[in-house]
Structure 1
Amino acid sequence: MAMEIEGVHRIGDKELFCKAWKPDEPSKAKLVFVHGFNDHTNRYHDLFSILASRGVEVHGFDQRGWGRSVTKPSERGLTGPTSQVIADVASFVRTQLPSEVPVFVMGHSMGGGEVLMLASDPAYEDVTAGVRGWILESPFIGFPKGFEPGSVTVFFGRLAGRLFPHLARQSALPPQNLTRDPKVVESLKEDTLIHDYGTLEGLAGMLDRTAALNEGRTRLNKGVRSIWCGHGTEDKGTSYEASKAWVARQTQIQDKEFKSYEGWSHQLHADLPENTHIFAKDVGDWIMARLGPDDAQLKPASRL
């Protein structure tokens, strides 16, 4: 059983809630996890516990504006601009670098798009160089078919984001669009840490990041070595087709894999009870296959 340790990651004057799932035995690898929109780290507990049972030490944090990093109502969805979002992710990844064991970075949904932006930003090449592999769960690279916002909506949304950046807007997917498990649907509805709000600045930034990835306007840093992406074919939160096309475009990466989950929904880690171990095993197997003796000697990343 994993040892769970809660703490705080301080960035400037802001404290972000963080948590670690540590194996009983010495760790074989570390996984830094970035959660999705309107979500928080504790909702991935089963996945993290299973990985920890295989020797993977997991570190996650509640992003600015989400989960237990929110200390008052005015902070709900207050993520800041993309530069702040990516700086927060980079700062948290740096807490695990350098490392005696290989470090992997994983992002779900919005978090998947964020880790790709980090991996593509030349300002963070030192971080990229210290990461053994990048894992994407249903990344937000495009909207699913039938759920795309109109061009007029997107235009005025971005304009409003510049004019009224901190104005909050309710923006959440119905829980039944996220998972096929009725119990998880109910837990999403009852979770008091899920507030359904994002600021116009944060929502506009997420749209811009998604467009940049979907349109091929980003390029992964040279230090990116390995990529794994899993996506459900019946995802109603992010685009299965866009993820598959993005991975196919990364012709410069020899070690890459796209895995389709036929009929699965958005939360692969909480799709159906009988599937939970399947997804966790796939992620764990991919990590374990990249723990060779040469991978322990990672290039140290400079600290903030």
Structure 2
Amino acid sequence: MALEKEGTLEVKGDSLYTKSWVPEGPIKAKLIFIHGFSDHLGRYTAFFSALSARGIAVHGLDQRGWGRSVKKPGDMGLTGPTTQVLADMAAFITPHLPSSPSDPPVFVLGHSMGGGQALTLACHPDYQEPVVRHVRGWMLESPFISFSPEEQPSALKVYAGRLAGRLMPHFQLKHEIMPEHLTRDPEVQKSLLEDKLMHNTGTLEGLAGLLDRTAALASGQVRPLPGGALRSLWIGHGTEDKTTWYEASRKYFDEYTGEVQDKEFKAYQGWYHQLHADGPDSKEFYKDVGDWILARCEDEGKGGPKL
């Protein structure tokens, strides 16, 4: 069983909620987790417990503006600009990075919006030496590189939102995502509707930042740097995802990741957005993530590249 530990990350004068799932036995690897829009750590317990049972410690935070990091209504969706989002992630990842070759290797997994954020961080020139070079592998679950056709906002809505965002950056607005677009599992759909921590509220500043990140990724403007520090990359995406677009993830992998030697793309045929909660099939996803991580731990132990 995993030992569950709650904590906080103090950054920029704010206290963000954190939680860890730690194996009772030896730790073979650490996984840092970044969640998506209107999400929180409490929805991943089964997934993280399964990884912990295989010796993988999982450390996650409820991002600024989401989950238990929200202390008052005005905090909802108040993520700040992309510079703040990246700084928060770096501040969370850094204390977990190995300080010696004998320490467990560290991996980062981002889901949905968090996948786009993690990929942006992994490709950012300012974070190559302090963070990216010390991460053994980056994993993206249904990354937000582009909207699915079902969720694509109109050009007029995007333009109006950007214009208003310059004048009222902290203005809050709802962006509802239908549970039946997230998972095929009726029980999970019901729990999504009943989850009080999933407030579906963003700010104009935060949503503009999200749109800017996806546009930069989808166009290849943000991609792994030549000679950069991104060593290994895994992307998993459901072919029937109705929230983020499978085709955009596939295109990004095929056209923009040539600088990454160790990479893998897995298409989950017929699956929806939440690979970790898409019904009984999700155990296959649990296994894929654990297998990919542990295979690279074995490579390290056999004299492969050290951190």
TM-score range, shorter chain: over 0.9
2:131 — aligned with what? 127
Q: 1:104 and 2:111 equivalent?
A: no
Q: Does structure 2 retain, via aligned residues, the 8 Å contact 1:2–1:24?
A: yes
2:240 to 230, 234, 240: 234
The aligned counterpart of 1:170 is 174
Tell me the CA shift for residue 147 of structure 1: 2.8
User: What's the C-alpha RMSD, in Å, of the aligned pairs?
Assistant: 1.1
Aligned positions of 1:69-80 closer than 5 A? 69-80=69-80
List aligned pairs for 1:152-167, cutoff 5 A: 152-167=156-171
Pairs within 5 Å for 1:224-263 = 224-249=230-255, 250-263=257-270
Q: Deviations over 1:211-255 (max 9, x none)?
A: 000011113241001100000011011000000111112112121
Task: Give the structure 1 partner of residue 6 of structure 2.
Answer: 6
Count of paired positions? 297
Deviation of the 1:296 alpha carbon: 8.2
1:295 Cα shift? Answer: 5.8
Q: TM-score, normalised by structure 1?
A: 0.95
Helix, strand or coil for the counterpart of 1:144?
coil
The one-letter code matched in structure 2 to 1:179 is T
Gaps of 5+ in 2: none
SS in 1 for 2:7: strand
C-alpha distance in 1 between matches for 2:305 and 2:46: 27
Matched with 2:65 is 65
Residue identity opposite 1:2 in structure 2: A
Check if 1:269 corresponds to 2:250: no
Taking the aligned partners of 1:219 and 1:236, their CA distance within structure 2 comes to 24
- Identify the residue that residue 37 of structure 2 maps to in structure 1: 37
Q: Partners of 1:172 and 1:147 in 2: how far apart?
A: 10
Kindly state the Cα deviation for residue 150 of structure 1 after the two structures are TM-superposed. 2.0
Of residues 234-243 and 94-103 in structure 1, the stretch that sits farther from structure 2 once superposed is: 94-103
Corresponding residue for residue 292 of structure 2: 286
For 1:74 and 1:295, the matched residues in 2 are separated by: 48
Q: Which runs of 4+ in 1 moved over 4 A?
A: none
Q: In the alignment, what sits opposite 1:301?
A: none
User: 1: distance between equivalents of 2:92 and 2:176?
Assistant: 26
2: CA distance between counterparts of 1:172 and 1:131? 34
Q: Residue type of the partner of 2:109?
A: M
Return 92-101 or 144-153, whichever deviates more.
Answer: 144-153
What is the deviation of 1:98? 2.5
Distance 2:179 2:262 in 1: 34
Name the TM-score, length of structure 2 as normaliser.
0.94
